[in-house]
Structure formats: structure tokens, C-alpha cells
């Protein structure tokens, strides 16, 4: 192959990468990215288990929590979290050794499992 052909192929590949990154950037900013970080902890209490769920919106649009399930129990919640915002939510649950929490948004579910301390 000629040097000119290799340079032309290299330029074409570089342009293709640049165009694909541009399209991804445009679509992400237009449609938004939902990315919720969920961390949970649980401790025993006199009435059962206290579950603390820490939520941080790492996306670029607001996330609306429309429900939560704690060890199979549906917990009513309606919460909006703005980008880069950090929120803690507390739930009471039945006594258990481990706790499974699923935070539900309009489009996704975010699970978290932790052992109960104490």
C-alpha cells in the first residue's frame, strides 16, 4: 500500500471516531442520562430494622423516584433528585439479617443489598 492510502485511511477512521463521539454527546445532552448511585445500610432497632438509603444523581437530568421495595414490602415515595444532588431516605422494615432495597424510577430499577448491623 502507498503512504498516501494509509494516511487517507487513518484520517477517515479519525473522522469517524470524532463524528461518533459528537453524535453521542448531542444525544446524551438532548435525551439526558439517568445515572443514580444507590448505597444502603441497615441497623437493628427495637421495632425491627432501620434502613438508610443514600442516593446521588450522577446523571445530567433530574431523576424521579416513584417507588421503593424493602425486603418485598412496597414503600410509598415520590422524590425528585436534581443532577449532582445527594439525598438520604430512611425506611422502617421488619426484622431481618439482610436487607434488599430496590429504588424505582420511571425508567429503571436500582437494587441494593446489605447486611443488618447490630
Summarised one tens digit per residue, pLDDT across range 64-112 is 999 999 999 999 999 999 999 999 999 999 999 999 999 999 889 999 9
Q: Are residues 25 and 73 in the same domain?
A: no
Q: Are residues 24 and 70 in the same domain?
A: no
- Which residues span the domain enclosing 5? 1-31
The tally of domains found in the chain comes to: 2
Q: Are residues 21 and 46 in the same domain?
A: no
CATH assignment at residue 107: 2.60.40.1890
CA quadruple 61, 89, 118, 116: dihedral sign? negative
Q: Are residues 16 and 53 in the same domain?
A: no
Summarised one tens digit per residue, pLDDT across range 40-57 is 999 999 889 999 999 999
Answer for the pair 33, 64: CB distance below 8 angstroms, yes or no. Answer: no
Amino acid at each position: 500500500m502507498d503512504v498516501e492510502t494509509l494516511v487517507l485511511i487513518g484520517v477517515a477512521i479519525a473522522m469517524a471516531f470524532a463524528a461518533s463521539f459528537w453524535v453521542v454527546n448531542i444525544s446524551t445532552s438532548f435525551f439526558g442520562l439517568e445515572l443514580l448511585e444507590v448505597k444502603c445500610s441497615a441497623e437493628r432497632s427495637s421495632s425491627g430494622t432501620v434502613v438508610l438509603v443514600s442516593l446521588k444523581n450522577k446523571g445530567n437530568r433530574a431523576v424521579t423516584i416513584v417507588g421503593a421495595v424493602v425486603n418485598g414490602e412496597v414503600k410509598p415515595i415520590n422524590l425528585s433528585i436534581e443532577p449532582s444532588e445527594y439525598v438520604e431516605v430512611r425506611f422502617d422494615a421488619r426484622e431481618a439479617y439482610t436487607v434488599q432495597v430496590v429504588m424505582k424510577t420511571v425508567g429503571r430499577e436500582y437494587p441494593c443489598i446489605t447486611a443488618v448491623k447490630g
